[in-house]
Amino acid sequence: MIRHPITVGMQTSLASAAQIMVWEGIDFLPVVDRNRKLVSSVTRREVLQAMRDAQNQPQMGETFEHLMWNGFAEERDQDGKLFFHGMITPQMATHLGTISHGVLSSLMTQAALTFAKDVSGADYVVDNLSTYFIRPVQIENPVVITPVILEMSRRACKLEILMKYQDNIVAKGMLSLQSIDHA
């Protein structure tokens, strides 16, 4: 027992609880009411299972991230490594007709999370992301997103993400991820 434990309230989302547990490195989270009276508790395993169950439920609507990622397909190279390809749509563009920074970050993040789960079987959250625009990516350009693992441990993964158009690098990202599955 500790004097001032990290707690969550009744209205805390599953995603927030999972993030708190990852960042704080805890496996047990007390749930308290407005008067800080203990109401319940939740374990990391329960939070992860609830999040997985929620992903399998039919949704009322799709998120923007889901809509963007739906336009990309997964394939494997000759070594069996996963890569992604898709088209830059008008909805992904800025007023100048190039891919928006937010869309670029979202696509790179989703590629990294999917790739890391494919390699390790674990679920991850993004710890840090740096993106670099190298060349403009225009509307209706077909792009290929290739993740490369730089370092992987039980708790973390560091990746480089390359986005190419016609074999030319148009954007690059460096991501560090933290596993939410470690015990």
CA distance linking residue 105 with residue 145, whole number of Å: 12
pTM assigned to the model: 0.70
Long-range contacts of 70-77 (CB under 8 A, 24+ apart): 72/107, 72/110, 72/111, 72/145, 74/114
Q: Closest Cα to residue 110, out of 79, 82, 135?
A: 82
Q: Hey, what CATH class is 64-179 in?
A: alpha beta
CATH fit for domain 8-55, picks 3.40.630.10, 3.10.580.10, 2.40.50.100, 3.50.50.60 = 3.10.580.10
Assigned token pair, 6: 């990290």
Q: What is the pLDDT along the chain (183 residues), one digit of tens a residue?
A: 678 888 988 888 877 888 888 778 888 899 999 888 889 999 888 887 887 776 666 554 567 777 788 889 999 999 989 999 999 888 888 888 788 889 999 999 999 999 999 999 888 999 999 999 998 888 888 999 999 999 999 889 999 999 999 999 999 999 999 988 754
The residue extents of the domains of the chain are 8-55, 64-179
